[in-house]
Amino acid sequence: MSLLDDARAWIAQDPDPVTRTELDALVARAEAGEDAATADLAERFSGRLDFGTAGLRGELGAGPMRMNRVLVAQAAAGLAAYLLEREPNPSVVVGYDGRHNSAVFARDSAAILAGAGVQATILPRPLPTPVLAFAVRELRASAGVMVTASHNPARDNGYKVYLGGADGGSQIVSPADGEIAAEIERAATVAFADHPTSTDVHTADESLVDAYISRTAEIASEPAPLRYVYTAMHGVGREVAEKVFAQAGFAAPVVVAAQADPDPDFPTVAFPNPEEPGAMDLAFAAARESGADLVIANDPDADRVAVGVPDADAAGGWRRLTGNEVGWLLGWKAARASRTGTLACSIVSSPALREVARVQGLDFVETLTGFKWISRAPGLIYGYEEALGYLVDPDKVRDKDGISAAVAVLSLFSELRAAGETLESHLDHFALEFGAFASAQISIRVADLDEIPRTMARLRAAPPTEVGGILVEGVDDYLLGVDGFPANDILRLRLAGGGRVIVRPSGTEPKLKCYLDASSAHGSASERRAAAAATVATLEAGMRALLE
């Protein structure tokens, strides 16, 4: 079939008038000889969105390289076939956020799952991803589907899959991801209208949401009278988060009104990701105005949390704690509360958590990136990833949970206030007990996705011998297998003095990411921090010169 024939076949089965009209117009322009339209069609039909790290994720639009109802139907049918092969009476719970088409994709999925003979339950309304992850365990479901693109741009959506049973409600890993992908390929040979559907779909009771709220509130320590700002970043976190905070005994937050309610266009931010520059500006403005002690920011599906604190040296008097700072502080808190168990983080997260585990006499596990790996660490009591993801209650949720983590942060600040401590003094104690750790990240967004593998290939072919004048003592190529991990597109540079640089493609966005870490255990707390920060600054300048 020709490219135009492929497009016309897609149009014939597409149930969505928006994407059908979009593709119709594109075909007409291509038939009229418009090169840009032909190139657009060629890209849309150049393959399929990969079913991998986070299930499916991509830009909304027509064609197999976009997120749309046809592709989602194929994913649901493929998941159903996989589950029916695994067990005789599988069940799936489906959740969705407030993005464009999330509710439609969720309803299509539930109807197709039910039509295939899978017991399907759908959450009652747009809710945070952690509620869906909780529901998989609470309902003892065979699997869970969350329709979300998390913190991606407004034009994106996605399809995240969890497995119950022996997988415990964690996200899919190999070989399940490959097996599901193979079933999706088979389902792709069936037209949308020919997938059996059923209206026999159960809507989850509100008691399920209430159970998540109660269980999350239970992890709070004795609350102190904190004044804090909360933003949902135009996502679905506010309702559940506010109920959790109230039930835990914390005062009501000052809410950033302009970002309080779900809005799939995310009008006040360039990217709805608290890590991005400017994303927390409205929250910081509210904090200055209200005299707040801290800022809590969820991303749109509330599986991540960012923390802002007053800082006289920062522009505007506030700064966001890095994901690693929050990660090791919550890890230290978890370690103090438990005599046994495992602390876990991904290889791109700070080495600080390993040192906390060593000093506190706990087990430590380092994993590949993603909570699908972190959540599977044996004996896990706490896990985190530097990209603002924290798993503080593994018995309840086997994924990062921005609302539970927010409760843990509020509890930590309450404990510090009750002890007459400040965050600054607490960070000093950490540096003296475990060493000072500094980290930074270079994130290069690309328009041409081929630029990422080209850059990785260039670094592999000619690894740097020094970065910013610091000697590279060794290079670990995870494609060749490192530390028993499966092959992965990651390079790690081991540097003189104990620093490191890790380079990898993002698993969810068109970015190349570079992670920089250094530490110091000499001198006072402030001297240790200054030394580690200076090393990271040198590494950052050196890697920018190499990458950009």
- The residue from 91, 150, 375, 520 that is catalytic is 150
Sequence-distant (6+) residues with CB within 8 A of 468 are: 538, 539, 540, 541, 542, 543, 545
Burial of 97 (0-12, 13-18, 19+ CB in 10 A): buried
* Tens of pLDDT, residues 325-348: 999 999 999 999 998 999 999 999
> pTM of the entire structure?
0.95
Q: How far apart are CA 237 and CA 235, in angstroms?
A: 6
| Band (509; pLDDT cuts 50, 70, 90) | confident
Could you give the count of Cα atoms lying within 13 Å of 272 in the half-sphere of its Cβ?
Answer: 35
Percent of the chain surpassing pLDDT 90: 92
- Band of pLDDT at residue 53, cut at 50, 70 and 90: low
Structural domains present in the chain: 1-45 (no CATH), 47-204 (3.40.120.10), 210-432 (3.40.120.10), 436-547 (3.30.310.50)
Buried residues in 166-181 as b, exposed as e (16+ CB within 10 A): ebebbbbbeebbebbb
The confidence band for 385, taking pLDDT boundaries of 50, 70 and 90, is very high
Per-residue tokens: 48? 């399929």
Burial (CB count <10 Å: 0-12, 13-18, 19+), residue 303? buried
Give the model confidence (pLDDT) of 196-227 as tens digits: 999 999 999 999 999 999 999 999 988 889 99
Mean pLDDT score across all residues of the chain: 95
Q: What is the mean pLDDT of residues 55-61?
A: 94
Active site includes 150? yes
Classify 120 as helix, strand or coil.
strand
Residue whose C-alpha is closest to residue 30's, from 22, 15, 516: 22
As a whole number, mean pLDDT of residues 367-379 equals 95
**Does 477 have pLDDT greater than 80?**
yes
Read off the pLDDT of residues 443-466 as tens digits, 9 standing for 90 and up.
888 888 788 999 999 999 999 999
Mean pLDDT (whole number) for 468-477: 95
The pLDDT tens digits for 238-251 are: 999 999 999 999 99
CA distance 54 to 370: 9
